[in-house]
Amino acid sequence: MSDLFAPLDDHPAYRQIANLIEERIVARVLRTGDALPSETDLARQFGVNRSTIREAIRELEIHGLLGRGRGEKRLRVTRPEPGSVSSGVSRALALHDVTFMELWEAMMAIEPAAAQYAATRRTADQLRSITRAHARFNREIADTAATVSAVLDFFTAVAAASGNQVLALSQAPLNLLLEPALSSIVDRVPQARARIQTAQGKIIDAIKLNKSEQARSWMEKHIRDFKRGHELETSMA
């Protein structure tokens, strides 16, 4: 199984430094909100050139571990938000030519679970977020883009209300993948809007009344509908 010699990979300095800083952040030595030392200072501490430091921080910045408020110069330690991570995942998936079926299967696994937990754990505030997305969906009947965006917001709000960060973070990338497919469906399948509206309403009712089983099963129906919509849409292409 294992060879006698492993291929040695020499990590360039900027990668090592990135890892070192990351360690400190994950170990909470550098806590969220703390400002990072200046690039010059870091260069001195690590005994490398500022250019090298810059390449290292770029890595952490991209991972969302470092960031800065708008118009702020110094970097500070931040906690990566779902959005910053999910874009990376969905770009990866896009490049792998994900099919609608793959996406759909994943949604069938994740969204109903999220709805179920949302029904038992949602706060009043989270419920409001969900209804707000639903209201926006009802309002934006004309504009396809706005409609789609409201649907995605609905999913995001439900996932957030599940009180489960892992589910929320797993759900986030699905949205970005769903967007183009959903646009076509909404555009070309007339009955789609009405069905989405009904389903969202039922899901909200269940979540409001803490009926987890109902929330789950309505979300399942809702997602199933997407498959039907997609089949209709492709058949009329």
Q: Hey, which residues between 132 and 151 contact its own copies (CB under 8 A)?
A: 136
| Rounded-to-integer distance, Cα 35 and Cα 39, Å | 12
Q: Is 9 in the site for its own copies (CB under 8 A)?
A: yes
| HSE of 217, CA atoms in CB hemisphere, 13 A | 3
Q: Is 195 in the site for DNA (CB under 7 A)?
A: no
Per CB under 8 A, the segment of 35-43, 64-72, 123-131, 220-228 that binds its own copies is: 64-72
Q: Is 88 in the site for its own copies (CB under 8 A)?
A: yes
Q: Which does 72 bind (CB under 5 to 8 A by kind): its own copies, DNA, none?
A: DNA
Query: In 10 A of CB 188, how many CB atoms?
Result: 15
Length of the chain: 237
Q: How many residues bind DNA (CB under 7 A)?
A: 21
Query: In 10 A of CB 179, how many CB atoms?
Result: 15
Q: Is 64 in the site for its own copies (CB under 8 A)?
A: yes
Interface residue with its own copies among 93, 127, 176, 232 (CB under 8 A) is 93
Interface pattern 22-51 for DNA (x via CB under 7 A): --------------x-xxxx-----xxxxx
Which residue ranges make up the site for DNA (CB under 7 A)? 12-14, 36, 38-41, 47-52, 54-55, 71-75
Which residue ranges make up the site for its own copies (CB under 8 A)? 1, 7, 9, 14, 22, 25-26, 32, 51, 54-55, 58-59, 62-65, 70, 79-82, 84-85, 88-89, 91-96, 98, 102-103, 105-106, 108-110, 113, 117, 136, 164-167, 169-170, 173-174, 177
